[in-house]
Amino acid sequence: MQRYFVQAFDGDTVTLAGNDARHISRVMRMAAGDSIICSDGSRTARCKLQEITNEKVSANIVEWMHESQELPVSVTIAQGLPKADKLDYIVQKGTELGAAGFLPFAAERSIVKWTKEKSEKRVARLEKIAKEAAEQSHRQTIPSIYPPVTFDDLLQKGEQYQLKIVAYEEEAKNKEDNDLPNVLKTISHGQSILFVVGPEGGFSKEEIEQLKEHHFHICGLGPRILRTETASLYFLAVVSYETELMR
Amino acid sequence: MQRYFVQAFDGDTVTLAGNDARHISRVMRMAAGDSIICSDGSRTARCKLQEITNEKVSANIVEWMHESQELPVSVTIAQGLPKADKLDYIVQKGTELGAAGFLPFAAERSIVKWTKEKSEKRVARLEKIAKEAAEQSHRQTIPSIYPPVTFDDLLQKGEQYQLKIVAYEEEAKNKEDNDLPNVLKTISHGQSILFVVGPEGGFSKEEIEQLKEHHFHICGLGPRILRTETASLYFLAVVSYETELMR
């Protein structure tokens, strides 16, 4: 069944406008009586369509759905600004895999630079991608897209998280030192985690030293060298495995 | 190349018996001169078959392999033919994450159809993508790209693998029944695994029934609905986690 995120429920009815109304009327060509699923971020309900126009769609709530597709832990992906449209891909796949938010940051080896104007456009585009991916993967919440920060800001923001992990390929080479499983064994329900990935060129020695000083765990993700857009997907998959399938 | 786990190497020769011998002679129908890969858990070697009976197979070691970047298990991704260029993406990312091979198959709900001519062009393109991704991720081996098969062929080819797993989203809904961790706990060094993913529309009830009849394990990949191109990445990441980081 098609899913839509709504601003709010109004008693036992709900109203959809803008792109969602156009999607229901023109793309899906739904009719009164058809069913959709609506979520306001905290509650989800199966709804029956009442009135449909290209601008506005009204529906009645048929039943509240008690489901949880959300990860038991809140994972924010801090991504060193990558080239081209890689961030679009990281947000789409990371949303499918349960990420709670995405925080781009300008790393020493980030080649692209975001101006304030470009930043606003890109964040809006990433929010649209996250909304569509959240609907497609049947999630109740849309991940947050944060405007890009500097590396120093990233170190400061880290203080807001209960667990801070950095993916560092040099660490992958000495398997013995790899403590990702030990770190993940310690995470508990509701915990907030910040997972940091460098840009294409990786982190500089200085950046890694600063992250260590700020108590970030340095972890490898196996012996193969992963592209920057693949590291966060590996991490989210194993967090799901640890917290949703193994426990 | 088919891999077998052996008790020990005997100088520059190795002997396989029991199920492995039957597998080589009856299932794989190999002949003297064919190559296999043998591992005793610490060392891995490419071997050339010498004498073959249903009870006992002897082989000579051709070369020792130093494959520190390869997954300890051989995972082949059987992918229901998806739309557009999704297979390019599945092969690139799956290669980074350690897949040994990719086997496209025509599922009931596959929308695209590959003609023989298109198939040859696409396989050549996918081989190029796999080679580049293997180089980029510092792997010693390039994953195999197999030409597309029918669903019935897929069921038959499954006999060549020691473990067969199917990703099925319906299974994700009843968490209790989800036995992916139990299945992965059983895998051992050198084992061959076939992981099957449906196309965008998923599997039909009939296809799932046939897969069950052919002893494929039906597993969910967590409560969120993953796109067809994301399922194999989730699986490869958790296989790496289980066999490379946790052990």
- CATH code for the domain of A91: 3.40.1280.10
Mean pLDDT to the nearest integer, A118-144: 94
- Percent pLDDT > 90 in chain A is 77
Mean pLDDT to the nearest integer, A108-133: 93
Number of H helices, E strands in chain B: 8, 12
Mean pLDDT to the nearest integer, A6-32: 92
B225 at A interface, C-beta within 8 A: yes
- The rounded distance, in Å, linking the Cα atoms of B102 and B233 is 13
The pLDDT tens digits for A23-41 are: 999 988 999 999 999 988 7
The pLDDT tens digits for A190-224 are: 999 999 999 999 999 999 999 999 999 999 999 88
According to DSSP, the residues that pair with A196 across neighbouring strands are A78, A166
Model pLDDT, residue B52: 95
Q: Is the pLDDT of residue B77 over 50?
A: yes
Q: Which of B224, B230, B233, B246 is the best residue to mutate to test the A interface, defined by the most A CB atoms within 10 Å of its own CB? A: B224
Q: What is the CA radius of gyration of chain B?
A: 18
Average predicted confidence (pLDDT) for chain B: 91
Which value does ipTM take for this structure?
A: 0.83
Q: Is the pLDDT of residue A86 over 80?
A: yes
* Pair A53, A86 in one domain: no
Nearest Cβ partner for A222 among B136, B223, B245: B245
Beta strands in A128-232 (DSSP E): 144-145, 149-150, 163-167, 192-197, 217-219
pLDDT band at A156 (very low <50, low <70, confident <90, very high): very high
Question: Which residues from B are below 8 Å from A246, CB to CB?
Answer: 181
* Pair B137, B178 in one domain: yes
Q: What string of H, E and C letters represents the secondary structure of A118-148? A: HHHHHHHHHHHHHHHHHHHCCCCCCCEECCC
* Pair A48, A144 in one domain: no
Mean pLDDT to the nearest integer, B142-154: 95
Model pLDDT, residue A232: 98
Model pLDDT, residue B137: 83
B182 at A interface, C-beta within 8 A: no
Question: Which residues from A are below 8 Å from B233, CB to CB?
Answer: 93, 230, 233-234, 237
* Cβ B97 vs Cβ A226: under 8 Å: yes
Q: What is the largest CA-CA distance in chain A?
A: 62
Nearest Cβ partner for B224 among A139, A175, A220: A139
Contact A222 B240 (CB under 8 A): yes
Domain boundary at B65, B87, B102, which?
B65
Model pLDDT, residue B155: 98
Q: Is the pLDDT of residue B216 over 60?
A: yes
| Number of domain units in chain A | 2
* Pair B125, B202 in one domain: yes
A68 at B interface, C-beta within 8 A: yes
Q: Tell me the shortest Cα–Cα distance from B52 to chain A, in angstroms.
A: 36
Contact B69 A98 (CB under 8 A): no
* Pair A188, A211 in one domain: yes
* Cβ A109 vs Cβ A80: under 8 Å: yes
Q: Is the pLDDT of residue A242 over 70?
A: yes
B243 at A interface, C-beta within 8 A: no
* Pair B200, B114 in one domain: yes
Q: Which of B95, B142, B170, B245 is the best residue to mutate to test the A interface, defined by the most A CB atoms within 10 Å of its own CB? A: B245
A186 at B interface, C-beta within 8 A: no
Q: Which helix (H) or strand (E) holds A172?
A: helix A169-173
Domain boundary at B33, B65, B97, which?
B65
pLDDT band at A177 (very low <50, low <70, confident <90, very high): low
The pLDDT tens digits for A57-68 are: 999 999 988 777
* Residue among B68, B16, B24 at smallest CA distance from B42: B68
* Pair A170, A151 in one domain: yes
* Cβ B114 vs Cβ B234: under 8 Å: no
Alpha-carbon dihedral A229, A235, A238, A243, rounded to 10 degrees: -130
* Pair A35, A146 in one domain: no
Model pLDDT, residue B228: 96
Q: Which of B66, B95, B96, B129 is the best residue to mutate to test the A interface, defined by the most A CB atoms within 10 Å of its own CB? A: B96
Q: Is the pLDDT of residue B177 over 80?
A: no
pLDDT band at A240 (very low <50, low <70, confident <90, very high): very high
Contact A223 B178 (CB under 8 A): no
B175 at A interface, C-beta within 8 A: yes
Mean pLDDT to the nearest integer, B111-120: 89
Measured between CA atoms, the residue of chain B closest to residue A219 is: B245
CB-neighbour burial class of residue A136 (10 A; exposed 0-12, middle 13-18, buried 19+): middle
CA neighbours closer than 13 Å in the CB half-sphere of residue B201: 12
Model pLDDT, residue B232: 98
- The rounded distance, in Å, linking the Cα atoms of B155 and B231 is 20
* Pair B173, B112 in one domain: yes
A174 at B interface, C-beta within 8 A: no
Q: At what angle do helices A86-96 and A228-240 cross, to 10 degrees?
A: 10
* Pair A145, A44 in one domain: no
* Pair B193, B127 in one domain: yes
* Pair A215, A146 in one domain: yes
Nearest Cβ partner for A222 among B180, B234, B244: B244
Question: Which residues from B are below 8 Å from A241, CB to CB?
Answer: 180-181, 222, 237-238, 241
Question: Which residues from B are below 8 Å from A170, CB to CB?
Answer: none
Q: Is the pLDDT of residue B112 over 80?
A: yes
B174 at A interface, C-beta within 8 A: no
Question: Which residues from A are below 8 Å from B136, CB to CB?
Answer: 225, 227
Which of A55-69, B55-69, B89-103 ranks highest by mean pLDDT? Answer: B89-103
Of the listed ranges A175-179, B37-41, B104-108, B192-196, the least confidently predicted one is A175-179
Question: Which residues from A are below 8 Å from B234, CB to CB?
Answer: 97, 233, 237, 240
Q: Is the pLDDT of residue A176 over 50?
A: no
B147 at A interface, C-beta within 8 A: no
Measured between CA atoms, the residue of chain A closest to residue B178 is: A245
pLDDT band at A172 (very low <50, low <70, confident <90, very high): low
- Is pLDDT larger for residue B101 or for residue A118? B101
Model pLDDT, residue A174: 54
Domain boundary at A65, A88, A107, which?
A65
Domain that residue A22 falls in:
3-65
CATH of the domain at B45: 2.40.240.20
- The rounded distance, in Å, linking the Cα atoms of A4 and A132 is 9
- The rounded distance, in Å, linking the Cα atoms of A135 and A101 is 15
Mean pLDDT to the nearest integer, B130-151: 88
- The rounded distance, in Å, linking the Cα atoms of A114 and A117 is 8
B177 at A interface, C-beta within 8 A: no
Helix, strand, coil: what percent of chain A each, to 5? 40, 25, 35
